[in-house]
Chains A and B, each alone.
Chain A
Amino acid sequence: MTTKPGTQQDTQKDAPSASKTVTPLWEVFIRARDGLAHRHVGSVHAADATMALSAARDVYTRRGEGLSIWVVPSAAITASDPADKAMLFEPTGSKIYRHPTFYEVPDEVGHI
Protein backbone atom coordinates (compact mmCIF):
# COMPACT_ATOMS: atom_id res chain seq x y z
CA MET A 1 0.00 0.00 0.00
CA THR A 2 1.19 3.49 -0.74
CA THR A 3 0.17 6.88 0.55
CA LYS A 4 0.28 10.12 -1.33
CA PRO A 5 2.05 13.01 0.33
CA GLY A 6 -0.22 15.96 0.75
CA THR A 7 -3.31 13.91 1.39
CA GLN A 8 -3.53 15.31 4.86
CA GLN A 9 -3.12 18.93 3.79
CA ASP A 10 -5.76 18.34 1.15
CA THR A 11 -8.43 17.55 3.68
CA GLN A 12 -8.64 21.14 4.90
CA LYS A 13 -11.87 21.82 6.71
CA ASP A 14 -12.64 25.16 5.08
CA ALA A 15 -12.57 24.37 1.38
CA PRO A 16 -12.00 20.69 0.72
CA SER A 17 -13.66 20.60 -2.68
CA ALA A 18 -12.00 23.77 -4.00
CA SER A 19 -8.53 22.88 -2.75
CA LYS A 20 -8.72 19.34 -4.12
CA THR A 21 -10.30 19.88 -7.48
CA VAL A 22 -9.94 23.53 -8.55
CA THR A 23 -6.53 24.11 -7.03
CA PRO A 24 -4.79 20.80 -6.30
CA LEU A 25 -1.56 20.54 -4.33
CA TRP A 26 1.89 20.84 -5.93
CA GLU A 27 5.23 19.96 -4.35
CA VAL A 28 7.89 22.64 -4.76
CA PHE A 29 11.61 22.01 -5.31
CA ILE A 30 14.15 24.84 -5.38
CA ARG A 31 17.75 24.81 -6.58
CA ALA A 32 19.62 27.37 -4.55
CA ARG A 33 22.87 27.53 -6.54
CA ASP A 34 24.37 26.18 -9.71
CA GLY A 35 25.77 22.73 -9.09
CA LEU A 36 23.38 21.87 -6.26
CA ALA A 37 20.36 19.59 -6.55
CA HIS A 38 16.78 20.81 -6.36
CA ARG A 39 15.54 20.38 -2.79
CA HIS A 40 12.02 19.97 -1.58
CA VAL A 41 10.91 23.13 0.22
CA GLY A 42 7.14 22.79 0.62
CA SER A 43 3.94 22.86 -1.34
CA VAL A 44 1.41 25.26 -2.89
CA HIS A 45 -2.15 25.07 -4.14
CA ALA A 46 -2.61 26.13 -7.77
CA ALA A 47 -4.97 25.59 -10.69
CA ASP A 48 -2.26 24.31 -13.06
CA ALA A 49 1.49 24.03 -13.56
CA THR A 50 1.99 27.63 -14.71
CA MET A 51 0.15 29.02 -11.71
CA ALA A 52 1.97 26.60 -9.43
CA LEU A 53 5.37 27.90 -10.63
CA SER A 54 4.20 31.45 -10.05
CA ALA A 55 2.88 30.65 -6.58
CA ALA A 56 6.09 28.78 -5.72
CA ARG A 57 8.13 31.81 -6.76
CA ASP A 58 6.00 34.11 -4.62
CA VAL A 59 5.91 31.85 -1.55
CA TYR A 60 9.37 30.27 -1.49
CA THR A 61 11.88 32.62 -3.19
CA ARG A 62 11.18 35.87 -1.34
CA ARG A 63 14.67 36.08 0.16
CA GLY A 64 16.75 35.14 -2.84
CA GLU A 65 16.60 31.41 -2.14
CA GLY A 66 16.54 30.16 -5.67
CA LEU A 67 17.84 30.01 -9.23
CA SER A 68 15.44 27.35 -10.45
CA ILE A 69 12.06 25.98 -9.42
CA TRP A 70 10.41 22.62 -10.09
CA VAL A 71 6.78 21.94 -9.30
CA VAL A 72 5.32 18.44 -9.33
CA PRO A 73 1.70 17.45 -8.81
CA SER A 74 1.57 15.97 -5.31
CA ALA A 75 -0.70 13.26 -6.68
CA ALA A 76 2.12 12.13 -9.01
CA ILE A 77 4.38 11.18 -6.11
CA THR A 78 4.36 7.60 -4.88
CA ALA A 79 5.54 7.42 -1.29
CA SER A 80 6.62 4.56 0.92
CA ASP A 81 4.21 3.41 3.58
CA PRO A 82 5.25 4.39 7.11
CA ALA A 83 4.05 0.90 8.19
CA ASP A 84 6.83 -0.63 6.07
CA LYS A 85 9.52 1.24 7.97
CA ALA A 86 10.81 -1.84 9.75
CA MET A 87 11.05 -3.91 6.59
CA LEU A 88 12.55 -1.17 4.45
CA PHE A 89 14.98 0.59 6.73
CA GLU A 90 15.89 -1.44 9.78
CA PRO A 91 18.06 -4.02 7.97
CA THR A 92 20.64 -1.34 7.17
CA GLY A 93 21.06 -0.48 10.84
CA SER A 94 23.41 -3.43 11.44
CA LYS A 95 25.55 -2.78 8.38
CA ILE A 96 27.81 -0.26 10.01
CA TYR A 97 30.68 -1.27 7.70
CA ARG A 98 28.97 0.70 4.96
CA HIS A 99 29.94 3.93 6.71
CA PRO A 100 33.44 5.03 5.67
CA THR A 101 34.73 5.16 9.22
CA PHE A 102 36.93 2.04 9.26
CA TYR A 103 39.68 3.19 6.96
CA GLU A 104 42.92 4.44 8.43
CA VAL A 105 44.25 7.31 6.43
CA PRO A 106 48.06 7.61 6.61
CA ASP A 107 49.21 10.96 7.98
CA GLU A 108 51.28 11.56 4.83
CA VAL A 109 48.09 11.88 2.80
CA GLY A 110 47.14 15.05 4.61
CA HIS A 111 43.74 16.52 3.95
CA ILE A 112 41.76 14.88 1.19
Chain B
Amino acid sequence: MATTSIAVTETPLVLTLLRRADDALVLGHRLSEWTGHAPTLEEELALPNIALDLIGQARALYQYAGELSGHDEDQLAYLRDAAAYRNCLLVEQPNGDFARTIARQMLYTAFIDPFWRAATASTDATIAAIAGKAEKETAYHLRHAGEWLVRLGDGTEESHRRAQDAVDWLWPYTGELFESDAAEQQMIAAGVLPDPATLRDAWDRTMEALLTRATLHRPSDGWAQTGGRRGVHSEHLGTLLAEMQILQRTYPGARW
Protein backbone atom coordinates (compact mmCIF):
# COMPACT_ATOMS: atom_id res chain seq x y z
CA MET B 1 0.00 0.00 0.00
CA ALA B 2 1.25 3.45 -0.88
CA THR B 3 2.50 5.43 2.08
CA THR B 4 4.14 8.82 2.55
CA SER B 5 6.64 7.89 5.20
CA ILE B 6 8.48 4.80 6.46
CA ALA B 7 10.30 3.87 9.66
CA VAL B 8 13.30 1.64 9.07
CA THR B 9 14.39 -0.96 11.60
CA GLU B 10 18.11 -0.25 11.67
CA THR B 11 20.03 -3.40 12.43
CA PRO B 12 23.80 -2.76 12.50
CA LEU B 13 24.10 -3.94 8.87
CA VAL B 14 21.14 -1.90 7.63
CA LEU B 15 22.44 1.20 9.43
CA THR B 16 25.92 0.76 7.98
CA LEU B 17 24.51 0.30 4.48
CA LEU B 18 22.28 3.37 4.81
CA ARG B 19 25.27 5.51 5.83
CA ARG B 20 27.09 4.64 2.60
CA ALA B 21 23.97 4.75 0.45
CA ASP B 22 22.82 8.13 1.80
CA ASP B 23 26.30 9.62 1.21
CA ALA B 24 26.14 8.51 -2.41
CA LEU B 25 22.54 9.60 -3.03
CA VAL B 26 22.86 13.02 -1.41
CA LEU B 27 26.15 13.83 -3.15
CA GLY B 28 24.77 12.48 -6.44
CA HIS B 29 21.73 14.72 -6.05
CA ARG B 30 23.93 17.72 -5.29
CA LEU B 31 25.95 17.10 -8.47
CA SER B 32 22.78 16.66 -10.50
CA GLU B 33 21.85 20.23 -9.50
CA TRP B 34 24.64 21.38 -11.85
CA THR B 35 22.77 20.01 -14.87
CA GLY B 36 22.05 22.98 -17.09
CA HIS B 37 24.26 25.26 -14.97
CA ALA B 38 27.80 23.90 -15.39
CA PRO B 39 30.51 26.37 -16.45
CA THR B 40 31.37 24.50 -19.68
CA LEU B 41 29.80 21.86 -21.90
CA GLU B 42 32.52 19.41 -20.86
CA GLU B 43 31.66 19.78 -17.16
CA GLU B 44 27.97 19.80 -18.01
CA LEU B 45 28.51 16.16 -18.98
CA ALA B 46 31.23 15.26 -16.48
CA LEU B 47 29.35 16.25 -13.31
CA PRO B 48 26.12 14.37 -14.14
CA ASN B 49 28.29 11.39 -15.21
CA ILE B 50 29.66 11.31 -11.69
CA ALA B 51 26.19 11.93 -10.24
CA LEU B 52 24.87 8.89 -12.13
CA ASP B 53 27.72 6.71 -10.85
CA LEU B 54 26.91 7.78 -7.29
CA ILE B 55 23.17 7.27 -7.68
CA GLY B 56 23.90 3.83 -9.13
CA GLN B 57 25.97 3.00 -6.06
CA ALA B 58 23.17 4.29 -3.82
CA ARG B 59 20.62 2.11 -5.62
CA ALA B 60 22.68 -1.04 -5.18
CA LEU B 61 23.14 -0.30 -1.47
CA TYR B 62 19.45 0.59 -0.97
CA GLN B 63 18.37 -2.59 -2.72
CA TYR B 64 20.45 -4.62 -0.31
CA ALA B 65 19.34 -2.59 2.74
CA GLY B 66 15.78 -2.92 1.46
CA GLU B 67 15.96 -6.73 1.25
CA LEU B 68 17.08 -6.76 4.87
CA SER B 69 14.58 -4.20 6.17
CA GLY B 70 11.48 -4.92 4.06
CA HIS B 71 11.45 -1.72 1.98
CA ASP B 72 12.25 -1.04 -1.66
CA GLU B 73 14.95 1.30 -2.89
CA ASP B 74 12.50 4.08 -3.78
CA GLN B 75 10.90 4.00 -0.34
CA LEU B 76 14.32 4.28 1.31
CA ALA B 77 15.22 7.26 -0.86
CA TYR B 78 11.92 9.12 -0.94
CA LEU B 79 10.06 8.33 2.26
CA ARG B 80 12.56 9.04 5.03
CA ASP B 81 12.82 12.45 6.73
CA ALA B 82 16.12 14.26 7.19
CA ALA B 83 16.42 12.90 10.73
CA ALA B 84 16.41 9.35 9.31
CA TYR B 85 19.13 10.13 6.75
CA ARG B 86 22.54 8.82 7.77
CA ASN B 87 24.85 10.68 5.36
CA CYS B 88 27.78 12.74 6.57
CA LEU B 89 27.41 16.52 6.69
CA LEU B 90 30.07 17.09 4.02
CA VAL B 91 28.02 15.71 1.13
CA GLU B 92 24.88 17.74 1.89
CA GLN B 93 26.70 21.10 1.81
CA PRO B 94 25.45 23.30 -1.04
CA ASN B 95 27.29 23.38 -4.36
CA GLY B 96 28.50 26.96 -3.93
CA ASP B 97 30.79 27.94 -6.79
CA PHE B 98 32.57 25.41 -9.01
CA ALA B 99 35.60 25.42 -6.69
CA ARG B 100 33.50 24.42 -3.70
CA THR B 101 31.81 21.63 -5.65
CA ILE B 102 35.21 20.31 -6.74
CA ALA B 103 36.70 20.61 -3.24
CA ARG B 104 33.71 18.79 -1.71
CA GLN B 105 34.04 16.04 -4.33
CA MET B 106 37.77 15.71 -3.70
CA LEU B 107 37.50 15.58 0.11
CA TYR B 108 34.81 12.90 -0.09
CA THR B 109 36.39 10.85 -2.87
CA ALA B 110 39.82 10.79 -1.20
CA PHE B 111 38.00 8.90 1.55
CA ILE B 112 35.49 6.74 -0.31
CA ASP B 113 37.82 5.54 -3.07
CA PRO B 114 40.17 3.63 -0.69
CA PHE B 115 37.08 2.66 1.35
CA TRP B 116 35.50 0.77 -1.57
CA ARG B 117 38.84 -0.72 -2.56
CA ALA B 118 39.19 -2.13 0.96
CA ALA B 119 35.55 -3.25 0.90
CA THR B 120 36.17 -5.48 -2.12
CA ALA B 121 37.58 -7.92 0.50
CA SER B 122 34.31 -7.86 2.48
CA THR B 123 33.12 -11.10 4.04
CA ASP B 124 29.67 -10.16 2.65
CA ALA B 125 29.53 -11.19 -1.02
CA THR B 126 26.93 -8.56 -1.95
CA ILE B 127 28.98 -5.74 -0.45
CA ALA B 128 32.16 -7.05 -2.10
CA ALA B 129 30.37 -6.98 -5.47
CA ILE B 130 29.03 -3.45 -4.94
CA ALA B 131 32.49 -2.30 -3.86
CA GLY B 132 34.11 -3.90 -6.91
CA LYS B 133 31.93 -1.86 -9.22
CA ALA B 134 32.13 1.33 -7.13
CA GLU B 135 35.91 1.44 -6.82
CA LYS B 136 36.38 1.71 -10.60
CA GLU B 137 33.98 4.64 -10.65
CA THR B 138 35.48 6.43 -7.66
CA ALA B 139 38.99 6.01 -9.08
CA TYR B 140 37.89 8.21 -11.98
CA HIS B 141 36.06 10.65 -9.67
CA LEU B 142 39.32 11.03 -7.75
CA ARG B 143 41.22 11.87 -10.91
CA HIS B 144 38.56 14.29 -12.15
CA ALA B 145 38.26 16.24 -8.89
CA GLY B 146 41.99 16.10 -8.16
CA GLU B 147 43.08 17.42 -11.55
CA TRP B 148 40.50 20.19 -11.32
CA LEU B 149 41.57 21.19 -7.82
CA VAL B 150 45.18 21.46 -9.04
CA ARG B 151 44.12 23.61 -12.04
CA LEU B 152 42.00 25.87 -9.83
CA GLY B 153 44.55 26.17 -7.03
CA ASP B 154 47.49 26.67 -9.36
CA GLY B 155 45.47 28.71 -11.87
CA THR B 156 44.62 32.39 -11.80
CA GLU B 157 44.66 34.59 -8.71
CA GLU B 158 40.88 34.38 -8.50
CA SER B 159 40.65 30.62 -9.00
CA HIS B 160 43.35 30.15 -6.33
CA ARG B 161 41.44 32.33 -3.87
CA ARG B 162 38.19 30.49 -4.51
CA ALA B 163 39.83 27.06 -4.23
CA GLN B 164 41.48 27.97 -0.92
CA ASP B 165 38.17 29.39 0.38
CA ALA B 166 36.43 26.16 -0.59
CA VAL B 167 38.96 23.90 1.11
CA ASP B 168 38.98 26.08 4.26
CA TRP B 169 35.17 26.14 4.38
CA LEU B 170 34.70 22.40 3.95
CA TRP B 171 37.62 21.13 6.02
CA PRO B 172 35.73 21.04 9.37
CA TYR B 173 33.28 18.57 7.76
CA THR B 174 35.95 15.99 6.95
CA GLY B 175 36.57 14.64 10.47
CA GLU B 176 33.15 12.97 10.43
CA LEU B 177 34.19 10.74 7.51
CA PHE B 178 36.40 8.68 9.82
CA GLU B 179 33.86 8.17 12.61
CA SER B 180 32.07 4.97 13.50
CA ASP B 181 29.87 3.90 16.42
CA ALA B 182 29.21 0.69 18.34
CA ALA B 183 26.80 -0.65 15.71
CA GLU B 184 29.23 -0.01 12.86
CA GLN B 185 32.09 -1.49 14.89
CA GLN B 186 30.17 -4.78 14.98
CA MET B 187 30.16 -4.83 11.18
CA ILE B 188 33.83 -3.87 11.07
CA ALA B 189 34.75 -6.65 13.49
CA ALA B 190 32.86 -9.13 11.28
CA GLY B 191 34.84 -7.98 8.24
CA VAL B 192 31.73 -6.69 6.49
CA LEU B 193 33.06 -3.18 5.90
CA PRO B 194 36.40 -1.46 6.53
CA ASP B 195 36.94 0.74 9.57
CA PRO B 196 36.80 4.37 8.35
CA ALA B 197 39.39 5.34 10.98
CA THR B 198 42.02 3.15 9.32
CA LEU B 199 41.70 5.18 6.09
CA ARG B 200 42.70 8.44 7.74
CA ASP B 201 46.42 8.10 6.92
CA ALA B 202 45.76 7.36 3.25
CA TRP B 203 43.33 10.28 3.07
CA ASP B 204 45.89 12.59 4.70
CA ARG B 205 48.59 11.54 2.23
CA THR B 206 46.29 11.98 -0.78
CA MET B 207 45.15 15.43 0.34
CA GLU B 208 48.63 16.55 1.37
CA ALA B 209 50.12 15.66 -2.03
CA LEU B 210 47.23 17.19 -3.91
CA LEU B 211 47.13 20.44 -1.95
CA THR B 212 50.87 20.83 -2.49
CA ARG B 213 50.44 20.41 -6.25
CA ALA B 214 47.55 22.87 -6.13
CA THR B 215 49.67 25.40 -4.19
CA LEU B 216 46.95 25.43 -1.52
CA HIS B 217 47.64 25.31 2.18
CA ARG B 218 46.23 22.53 4.32
CA PRO B 219 43.84 23.84 6.97
CA SER B 220 44.61 22.68 10.49
CA ASP B 221 42.51 19.89 11.99
CA GLY B 222 40.56 21.72 14.66
CA TRP B 223 37.05 21.13 15.88
CA ALA B 224 35.13 18.87 13.50
CA GLN B 225 31.44 19.09 12.61
CA THR B 226 29.56 15.88 13.33
CA GLY B 227 26.04 14.45 13.69
CA GLY B 228 25.00 13.34 10.20
CA ARG B 229 25.53 9.63 10.91
CA ARG B 230 22.83 9.76 13.63
CA GLY B 231 20.48 12.07 11.71
CA VAL B 232 21.52 15.45 13.11
CA HIS B 233 21.95 17.41 9.89
CA SER B 234 22.64 20.93 8.73
CA GLU B 235 19.64 22.93 7.49
CA HIS B 236 20.66 22.19 3.90
CA LEU B 237 19.60 18.53 3.86
CA GLY B 238 15.97 19.43 4.57
CA THR B 239 15.66 21.63 1.50
CA LEU B 240 17.50 19.08 -0.65
CA LEU B 241 15.14 16.29 0.42
CA ALA B 242 12.06 18.51 0.02
CA GLU B 243 12.92 18.98 -3.64
CA MET B 244 13.94 15.35 -4.19
CA GLN B 245 10.98 13.79 -2.36
CA ILE B 246 8.07 16.11 -3.14
CA LEU B 247 6.55 13.96 -5.86
CA GLN B 248 6.45 10.70 -3.87
CA ARG B 249 5.31 12.54 -0.74
CA THR B 250 2.50 14.32 -2.59
CA TYR B 251 1.39 11.45 -4.83
CA PRO B 252 2.33 8.32 -2.87
CA GLY B 253 3.35 5.45 -5.11
CA ALA B 254 3.26 7.56 -8.30
CA ARG B 255 4.91 5.82 -11.26
CA TRP B 256 5.92 6.99 -14.71
Interface residues, chain A, with chain B CB atoms under 8 Å away = 23, 44-48, 50-51, 54-55, 57-59, 62
Contact = CB atoms under 8 A, between A and B. Distances in A.
A58 B147 contact: no
Interface stretch (B41-49, B62-70, B217-225): B41-49
A58 B41 CA distance: 10
A62 B42 contact: no
Contacts, number: 31
A51 to B, nearest CB: 6
Interface of B: 40-42, 45-46, 49, 140, 143-144, 147-148, 151, 155
Contact of A45 (B40, B45, B147, B148): B40
B40 A54 contact: no
A51 B45 contact: no
A46 B43 CA distance: 10
Nearest to A18: B40
13 contacts: A45-B40, A45-B41, A47-B155, A48-B151, A50-B147, A51-B147, A51-B151, A54-B46, A54-B143, A57-B140, A58-B45, A58-B46, A58-B144
B49 A58 contact: yes
Given A50-B147, A51-B151, A54-B147, A62 B45 contact: yes
B42 A44 contact: yes
B151 A55 contact: no
A57 B50 CA distance: 12
A44 B40 CA distance: 10
A59 B147 contact: no
B46 A23 contact: no
A54 B41 contact: no
Contacts of A44: 42
Contacts of B155: 47
Contact of A23 (B40, B49, B144): B40
Closest A-B pairs by Cβ, 8 of them: A55-B42, A58-B46, A58-B45, A59-B45, A58-B49, A44-B42, A47-B151, A50-B147
A66 B144 CA distance: 18
Contacts of B45: 58-59, 62
